[in-house]
Amino acid sequence: MQELGRNFIAGEWVEGVSTVENRNPSDLSDLVGLFAQAGTDQLEATLDQARRAQAEWAAYGMERKQAALMAIGNELMARAEELGTLLSREEGKPLAEGKGEVYRAGQFFTYYAAECLRQLGENADSVRPGVEIDVRREAVGVVAIISPWNFPTATASWKIAPALCYGNAVVWKPANITPASAVALTEIIARQDIPKGLFSLVMGSGREIGQQLVESPKVNAISFTGSVPVGKGIAAAAIQNLTKVQMEMGSKNALAVMDDADIDLAVSLALGGAFGGTGQKCTASSRLVVHQAVHDAFVEKLVAGTKAMKVGHALGEGTQMGPVVSQQQLEENLAYVALGKSEGAELACGGQRLEMPHEGFYMSPGVFLNTTNDMRINREEMFAPLTSVISVGSYDEALSVVNDTNFGLTSGIVTQSLARATDFRRNARTGVVTVNLPTAGTDYHVPFGGRGDSSYGPREQGKAAAEFYTTVKTAYISAGAV
Ligand code: NDP
């Protein structure tokens, strides 16, 4: 009998109103587990308890908070192999990526553990003589965190860690197709010295329990990562209660390869950026904007490298790309392959469903050639192991194609020219810019976020996270007569 993964409601592990099955996308015969779906009343109960717990947490000493976050981070890093295996088993990314993700999640907690001790305010003299001003940040209150499946542990951690660090209570609704990683992280958090109900795990579908959460007037702030349509719906719900929102919603990132680029480097950045995480990354290199002078040389190596990629079971030896996460995602990806061909793009390789010894959601990584930036495959986030080459005649044209998108999360340039790299860094309209580095893969101690449809609200990560997870208080103090 499979043990049920339960919700953590108001400080207790509880069963839900129904259960869902979680299956391994690399091998559908492998049942990862059964997971409880929270009910409406459970969500209300946990929100009420979160409010009480937040007041208690605010009164904890800063070293006590630091110790709790440090312990979570250290445990994640120490158990990266074990929890990374679980993550890869339920999400489908190769084991090295799963382990790396859990380790990185730990680093978010240790970083914000240290930030517990670094919350400095500002002070000033008033324009009124004898009056002093003290400006400091206070917790927002109860934060709803809605996270996606593509980085089930890291994305949640880069939201949960700062939320707790800056004194908030957290109600977390993870993506329903990666619940095992959510329960594993919650087990670690639940064991710490934190007030009862400060942190809750509420599993269930986004349309039901997620919608109830974002519509609740008991929530003070919502941090979301996922798709644009869901993000817009959450923003609309949040405005009804004037709830603070922060959202990150994917992109259509471009890697520009210039005529002076080191071609082998460019190919390796493109392969990693396009197909890492099976292309299911908001920072994926889905548009390769290539100078015509190096187009043929680049494409030849890119296609050879793509064909050589080993697709297989996420936990299999030597697997470079695992399955996609779900049947629905696979169908959408294959529909994009058909769409690209119908738009006139040439599919140079891949883009096919693959049969494997285990039944799973496998497809081969695909490269489209002869594409133009107005094609839908170059405008919509596919979240697939598919990338498109767009040929350009100059650096100026490359920059204009890179910027011609509704999104604006990351962009990169491969060049040996300092002048071009500098110009690109200044003029690419994205929240993150890279030079001779992949468009995917960012650090944890600096801001992360984008422009346009990619992001809405304050930046995530690093010290920038304080902007979202706190509210500023300005105090005026008169000493009175001496
Ligand atoms: P969604 O935007 O549907 O899901 C993201 C999170 O939001 C999940 O936890 C989901 O819950 C939840 N959610 C869904 N609907 C609501 C709602 N009405 N109210 C509150 N929460 C809600 O993304 P999908 O997982 O369906 O993926 C679809 C596409 O979104 C992908 O193909 C990709 O293009 C994009 N995406 C982008 C990501 C990024 O990193 N920016 C991450 C994931 C997806 P649940 O899944 O349990 O229903």
| Pair of tokens at residue 18 | 């129904």
Residue 89, CB half-sphere, CA atoms under 13 Å: how many?
16
Q: Are strands 221-225 and 142-146 parallel, antiparallel or unpaired?
A: parallel
H helix runs in 61-146, sequence order: 62-78, 80-91, 95-115
195 plus 267 within the same structural domain: no
383 plus 290 within the same structural domain: yes
Q: Ligand 1, from 146, 203, 222, 241: best to mutate by most atoms within 8 Å of Cβ?
A: 146
CA gap 481, 368 in Å, rounded: 77
The verdict on the CB of residue 381 being under 6 Å from ligand 1 is yes
Task: Please list the residues that pair with 36 across neighbouring strands.
Answer: 19
Inter-residue contact 198 to 167 (CB < 8 Å)? no
89 plus 131 within the same structural domain: yes
pLDDT tens-digit map of 36-92 = 999 999 999 999 999 999 999 999 999 999 999 999 999 999 999 999 999 999 999
Catalytic positions, please? 248, 282
The verdict on the CB of residue 190 being under 6 Å from ligand 1 is no
Q: 200-234 burial, b if ≥16 CB within 10 A, otherwise e?
A: bbbbbebebbbbbbbebebbbbbbbbbbbebbebb
Atom of ligand 1 nearest to the CA of 281: 40
Name the residue with the closest Cα to ligand 1, atom 30.
227
The verdict on the CB of residue 311 being under 6 Å from ligand 1 is no
DSSP type of residue 381: -
260 plus 245 within the same structural domain: no
Inter-residue contact 357 to 323 (CB < 8 Å)? no
| Pair of tokens at residue 453 | 């449809």
Residue 326's alpha-carbon distances to 178, 204, 242, 363, 436, in angstroms, are 11, 17, 35, 12, 33
Q: Ligand 1, from 230, 334, 376: best to mutate by most atoms within 8 Å of Cβ?
A: 230
469 plus 430 within the same structural domain: no
Domain span at 118: 4-249+445-475
Q: Is the dihedral of CA 312, 316, 318, 322 positive or negative?
A: positive
- Report the Cα 390 to chain-centroid distance in Å: 27
| Pair of tokens at residue 199 | 């942190």
Which CATH number goes with the domain that contains 372?
3.40.309.10
427 plus 451 within the same structural domain: no
The answer to whether residue 412 is domain-embedded is: yes
Name the residue with the closest Cα to ligand 1, atom 42.
226
Name the residue with the closest Cα to ligand 1, atom 12.
206
Atom of ligand 1 nearest to the CA of 155: 40
CA gap 102, 435 in Å, rounded: 27
Distance 177 CA to ligand 1 centre (A): 10
The verdict on the CB of residue 376 being under 6 Å from ligand 1 is no
Name the residue with the closest Cα to ligand 1, atom 19.
211
The answer to whether residue 480 is domain-embedded is: no
| Pair of tokens at residue 461 | 């990560």
Residue 39, CB half-sphere, CA atoms under 13 Å: how many?
7
What is residue 480's predicted lDDT score, i.e. its pLDDT?
Answer: 77
Distance 108 CA to ligand 1 centre (A): 22
234 plus 105 within the same structural domain: yes
Inter-residue contact 87 to 102 (CB < 8 Å)? yes
The verdict on the CB of residue 145 being under 6 Å from ligand 1 is no
229 plus 263 within the same structural domain: no
The verdict on the CB of residue 234 being under 6 Å from ligand 1 is yes
Which CATH number goes with the domain that contains 212?
3.40.605.10
The answer to whether residue 482 is domain-embedded is: no
The answer to whether residue 440 is domain-embedded is: no
373 plus 317 within the same structural domain: yes
Written as tens digits, the pLDDT of the chain (482 aa) is 567 999 999 999 999 999 999 999 999 999 999 999 999 999 999 999 999 999 999 999 999 999 999 999 999 999 999 999 999 999 999 999 999 999 999 999 999 999 999 999 999 999 999 999 999 999 999 999 999 999 999 999 999 999 999 999 999 999 999 999 999 999 999 999 999 999 999 999 999 999 999 999 999 999 999 999 999 999 999 999 999 999 999 899 999 999 999 999 999 999 999 999 999 999 999 999 999 999 999 999 999 999 999 999 999 999 999 999 999 999 999 999 999 999 999 999 999 999 999 999 999 999 999 999 999 999 999 999 999 999 999 999 999 999 999 999 999 999 999 999 999 999 999 999 999 999 998 999 999 999 999 999 999 999 999 999 999 999 999 987 66
Strand blocks (E) in 174-231: 199-201, 221-225
Atom of ligand 1 nearest to the CA of 174: 9
Domain count, the chain: 2
Residue 137's alpha-carbon distances to 119, 120, 140, 329, in angstroms, are 8, 8, 9, 41
Reference 68, options 144, 175, 163, 181; nearest CA is 163
Distance 149 CA to ligand 1 centre (A): 8
**Angle between the N-to-C axes of helices 62-78 and 95-115, in degrees from 0 to 180, rounded to the nearest 10:** 170
329 plus 209 within the same structural domain: no
DSSP type of residue 362: -
The verdict on the CB of residue 178 being under 6 Å from ligand 1 is no
Q: 55-90 burial, b if ≥16 CB within 10 A, otherwise e?
A: eebeebeeeebbbbbbbbbebbbebbeebbbbbbbb
288 plus 423 within the same structural domain: yes
The verdict on the CB of residue 150 being under 6 Å from ligand 1 is yes
What is residue 106's predicted lDDT score, i.e. its pLDDT?
Answer: 98
CA gap 350, 367 in Å, rounded: 7
What is residue 410's predicted lDDT score, i.e. its pLDDT?
Answer: 97
The answer to whether residue 481 is domain-embedded is: no
The answer to whether residue 98 is domain-embedded is: yes
CA gap 100, 84 in Å, rounded: 7
451 plus 469 within the same structural domain: yes
The verdict on the CB of residue 453 being under 6 Å from ligand 1 is no
Name the residue with the closest Cα to ligand 1, atom 38.
226
The answer to whether residue 377 is domain-embedded is: yes
The answer to whether residue 126 is domain-embedded is: yes
